[in-house]
């Protein structure tokens, strides 16, 4: 009698495994994304996973010694050295302060925990907790459903939007900062706390991704970075729509969608984690402000 073997499917790669998972997006959702340039997916992340990211961000802040940085901000070379700190952050975990966090002598006005605006820009590659979260199968599947076939995780940010002093993020397109040709760029914005108009939720311009790219933020020849105007586009900001969302929601943003967040004057923080993904088949511009060193190339899932 011939020996019978268990029947199984041989999976050669994570990519193949991903393809076996059910789609996350329905046909209606993908067509809404094409039409509006954004999607709101509630309950995408469970509560404990949101809390784990918050705890980890708190640990990173607690381990961060702002002393060196405080001296940067108190030197006469402030703008050059802060430019370097920012421009070199594409493959690092760095901490950025709220505007007005410092006294004129370079000391912090309040505790570092209440002064940090965001952490960026390679948490997803350098920190094990953010790495693991950023590469969960649900995110892989979502990105695949959005038409990014060969994903590269380009940038991550942990945004605090601190109570009472959380600064405004003016209306912009992510492609201004992360340009690639052809432009296949998706931003994922994970609400780690409820986001409301009061505490500075995102506002989006539905359909605004069809208005073209307005500017690029590129490295300047003599050092630093500058904005390069591409088109004098008028965004009808009166048509911006607030996205008040619950903790655990992910907002998907097309790379060309104009969006902003207003100041947080409320007593509640509004933590969010963002991840930007491009397609490896696109050419990521060498003059974009955010670059990687050769030792740390971009990775997929
Ligand atoms: O979270 C915010 O306040 C704004 C984030 C944002 O605009 C972005 O990640 O592009």
Cα of 261 from ligand 1 centre, angstroms: 7
CB 154 near ligand 1, within 6 Å: no
pLDDT at 72: 55
pLDDT at 14: 61
Question: Model-level pTM?
Answer: 0.92
Cα of 273 from ligand 1 centre, angstroms: 9
CB 259 near ligand 1, within 6 Å: yes
Kindly give the parts of the chain with pLDDT less than 70: 1-21, 70-82
Long-range contacts of residues 197-200, Cβ cutoff 8 Å, at least 24 apart: 197/242, 197/244, 197/262, 198/264, 198/265, 198/266, 198/268, 199/161, 199/163, 199/166, 199/264, 199/266, 199/268, 199/269, 199/270, 200/161, 200/166, 200/168, 200/261, 200/262, 200/263, 200/264, 200/266, 200/270
CB 161 near ligand 1, within 6 Å: yes
pLDDT at 109: 86
Ligand 1 nearest atom to the CA of residue 157, by list position: 9
Convert the pLDDT of each residue in 254-295 to its tens digit: 999 999 999 999 999 999 999 999 999 999 999 999 999 999
Ligand 1 nearest atom to the CA of residue 189, by list position: 9
pLDDT at 67: 80
pLDDT at 3: 52
Note if the bond before 49 is cis, omega within 30 degrees: no
CB 245 near ligand 1, within 6 Å: no
Ligand 1 nearest atom to the CA of residue 259, by list position: 7
């Amino acid at each position: 009698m011939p020996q019978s073997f268990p029947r199984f499917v041989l999976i050669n790669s994570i990519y193949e495994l991903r393809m076996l998972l059910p789609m996350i997006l329905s046909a209606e959702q993908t067509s809404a994304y094409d039409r509006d340039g954004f999607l709101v997916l509630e309950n995408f992340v469970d509560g404990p996973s949101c809390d784990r990211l918050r705890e980890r961000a708190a640990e990173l802040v607690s381990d961060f010694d702002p002393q060196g940085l405080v001296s940067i901000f108190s030197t006469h070379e402030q703008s050059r050295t802060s430019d370097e700190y920012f421009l070199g952050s594409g493959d690092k975990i760095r901490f950025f302060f709220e505007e007005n966090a410092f006294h004129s002598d370079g000391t912090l006005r309040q505790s570092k925990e209440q002064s940090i605006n965001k952490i960026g820009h390679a948490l997803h590659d350098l920190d094990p907790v953010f790495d693991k979260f950023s590469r969960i199968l649900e995110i892989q599947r979502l990105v695949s459903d959005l038409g990014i076939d060969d994903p590269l995780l380009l940038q991550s940010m942990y945004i605090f939007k601190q109570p009472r002093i959380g600064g405004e993020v003016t209306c912009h397109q992510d492609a201004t900062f992360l340009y690639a040709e052809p432009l296949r760029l998706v931003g994922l914005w994970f609400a780690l706390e409820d986001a409301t108009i009061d505490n500075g939720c995102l506002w989006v311009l539905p359909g605004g991704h069809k208005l073209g790219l307005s500017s690029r933020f590129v490295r300047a020849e003599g050092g630093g970075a500058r904005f390069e105007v591409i088109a004098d586009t008028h965004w009808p900001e009166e048509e911006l729509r607030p996205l008040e969302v619950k903790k655990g929601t992910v907002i998907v943003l097309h790379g060309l969608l104009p969006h902003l967040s207003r100041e947080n004057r409320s007593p509640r923080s509004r933590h969010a984690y963002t991840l930007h993904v491009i397609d490896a088949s696109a050419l990521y511009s060498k003059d974009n402000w955010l670059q990687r060193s050769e030792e740390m190339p971009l990775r997929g899932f």
